[in-house]
Amino acid sequence: MLNFTDVELERYARHILVPEIGAIGQARCRDASVLIIGIGGLGAPLAQQLAASGIGRIGLIDDDHIDRSNLQRQILYDTPSIGALKTDIAREKLTALNPHIRIETYAERATTSLLAKLLPSYDLVCDGTDNFRTRFNVSDACTHYGKTLISGAVQGLGGQVATFRPQHHGPCYRCLFPDADENETLNCSRAGVLGPATSVIGSLMAVETLKEVMQLTPQTPEHTIVTSWDALKSTFRRFELTRNPDCTAHSSSNEVVLT
Ligand SMILES: [Zn+2]
């Protein structure tokens, strides 16, 4: 069936049984490539879910080493791995989880030049980093190369997730935060975060990524749905975001737009 081995069919059986997914949706996962920027609180559970789901090629960018204070929420890592590079441990754990996929790691900062080198060869980008400067860099690179961006953020007792499709005339991350200070840190090391909240938002990012890959996406890709989750109130809220006509990211002639 679509060149899956019996072992792969057994592994992915619960996906294939879902009518909206089937073997075709699973084949789309196998043939897809996803670049994850930051494999901390959000990126680690996201990478686990995408690896388990059979995304064929996963790139991981992170230059951090594992710190004891990470272990309260980054459950991909454990106590003996303190001090190791996150990319090394993530590659080892994810390959053990699913040997049928390829994991590529980059123990570097997500600079503009690294993004320019990597983005063209990936289908989709996921951002789980913790500062506006990197987030704007990632967003601008996705707009420039015409890539869909799944963005997640978490702080305290909640978080949010959104999918941006600038190549379909959709908004970008700058449209959502036009007044953000690039030097500001969205840092749970300062603000704190409920441990499992990172897995909730990281898993929602995985869901949004798989919806894109499996082509279960909405008919209006130019609209972005921002989903906001509040742990205390036990609520999910959503609002629609369209492109900000004043957003500077779209005034450039470099922008890739699909017609
Ligand atoms: Zn924008």
Give the position of tokens 């879910």.
49
pLDDT, tens only, 85-119: 999 999 999 999 999 999 999 999 999 999 999 99
pLDDT tens digits along 193-241 = 999 999 999 999 999 999 999 999 877 888 899 999 999 999 999 999 9
Residue 204: how many CB atoms within 10 A of its CB? 23
Q: How far is the CA of 53 from the centre of ligand 1 (A)?
A: 31
Instruction: Give the number of other CB atoms < 10 A from CB of residue 39.
Output: 29
**Rounded distance from Cα 148 to ligand 1 centre (Å):** 13
Q: Where are the domains of the chain?
A: 15-250
* CATH 3.40.50.720 holds for 15-250: yes
Q: How many other CB atoms are found less than 10 A from the CB of residue 96?
A: 9
| pTM as predicted | 0.95
Which residue, chain included where needed, has tokens 């080892």? 92
Distance 90 CA to ligand 1 centre (A): 32
* Alpha carbon of 173 to ligand 1 centroid (Å): 6
**Rounded to the nearest whole angstrom, what is the distance from the C-alpha of residue 245 to the centroid of ligand 1?**
8
Euclidean distance between CA atoms 225 and 239, whole angstroms: 6
With DSSP H G I counted as helix, E B as strand and the rest as coil, what are the percentages for the chain, rounded to 5?
A: 40, 20, 40
